[in-house]
Amino acid sequence: MRQCDKLQADVEALCAKLQRPISSKDLLRYYSRAPEDRPLLFQRLGQQLFKLARPKGKKSAFVHRVGIIGNLAFYAPDTDPKWADAFSVYGSLVAVAQQRHFRLPDYAARLLRTRFEAMARNALAGYVEEFRPIIENCPPTSPLVHDMSELLEKAEREAASVFIQNVPTNLISRDAAAELLRREYGRRTPMSDPGAMNVARHLVHLKWPQSSLFPSTPGVFWADQVEMYCASRWPVTANEHELARGLSLVMIYGQEPVIFA
């Protein structure tokens, strides 16, 4: 069997086992349990899957790219609509798992009765608007759904009556965000070497927007949010971490809303 055909067969087998499209990460875990089964390919799995999704002829091995979650592309053995449905459910579960880790409503609640209250309540309204439909797309038996339902209930109790989309005014370029990140890191950790800092691993979490409620604007960052992120990662006072962590999370839903009486 040709190595590309072997990879195609493995994609089909793993999709059938997991009942969803799979990524190169899924395949790596699959091969880690049986290294001898891994096809002898000169390219990385992600690159090879990308090539298989663009066959050169009718007899070429083929996989179908279904979609992307984060920085991972997901593939299925064919174009059957069931894979798109399964991908949608899996994407919802991934989003819920991330939010269970971030716990935005818990941090936002700590900003109530402070000068950031309006911003926190607006963020909670956006959180509910964004994630209520997502949780409804998840299997109700998933333990993630129970935890996320509790977070949504907490958010609904304290949220503003309506979410106001207020795009930040001080959006900056990637280069400017990288410079700001290095500067804050150097200021907050005096013995460090900001020049040796891997800024990409931090900036990947800070691209604006981070919420689907805002229109896409590739390649920009919110300067204030970058600063709050730095304060939460490298706090200089005991109280700074909690406050900055909460602010960096609620900033996902934009600036403090301007309400006209």
Measured between alpha carbons, how far is residue 81 from residues 51, 74, 75, 76, 87 in Å? 22, 14, 13, 10, 10
- Overall domain count for the chain: 3
pLDDT (mean) for 205-227: 93
Mean pLDDT, the chain, whole residue set: 89
**Does residue 258 fall inside a structural domain?**
no
**Residue range of the domain that includes 220:** 171-253
What pLDDT, on a 0 to 100 scale, did the predictor assign at position 38? 77
What pLDDT, on a 0 to 100 scale, did the predictor assign at position 48? 84
pLDDT above 60 (res 217): yes
Phi, psi of 4 (to 5 degrees): -65, -40
Last residue of a domain, one of 110, 136, 158: 158
What pLDDT, on a 0 to 100 scale, did the predictor assign at position 129? 96
CA distance 54 to 50: 7
pLDDT bracket for residue 155 (50, 70, 90): very high
Per-residue tokens: 11: 């994609």
Shared domain for 29 and 69, answered yes or no, is yes
Shared domain for 69 and 101, answered yes or no, is no
Burial 134-173 (b: 16+ CB within 10 A, else e): bbeebeeebebbeebeebbebbeebbbeebbbeebeebbe
Shared domain for 227 and 180, answered yes or no, is yes
Alpha helices in the chain (DSSP H): 3-18, 24-32, 45-52, 81-102, 104-109, 117-136, 143-158, 174-188, 200-203, 223-233, 240-250
What pLDDT, on a 0 to 100 scale, did the predictor assign at position 221? 97
pTM listed for this prediction: 0.81
- 60-117 pLDDT, tens per residue? 668 899 999 988 999 999 999 999 999 999 999 999 998 888 999 999 999 999 999 9
pLDDT bracket for residue 261 (50, 70, 90): very low
**Does residue 164 fall inside a structural domain?**
no
**Does residue 131 fall inside a structural domain?**
yes
**Does residue 23 fall inside a structural domain?**
yes
CA distance 86 to 66: 10
- Paired residues of 64 in beta bridges: 76
Shared domain for 191 and 229, answered yes or no, is yes
**Does residue 183 fall inside a structural domain?**
yes
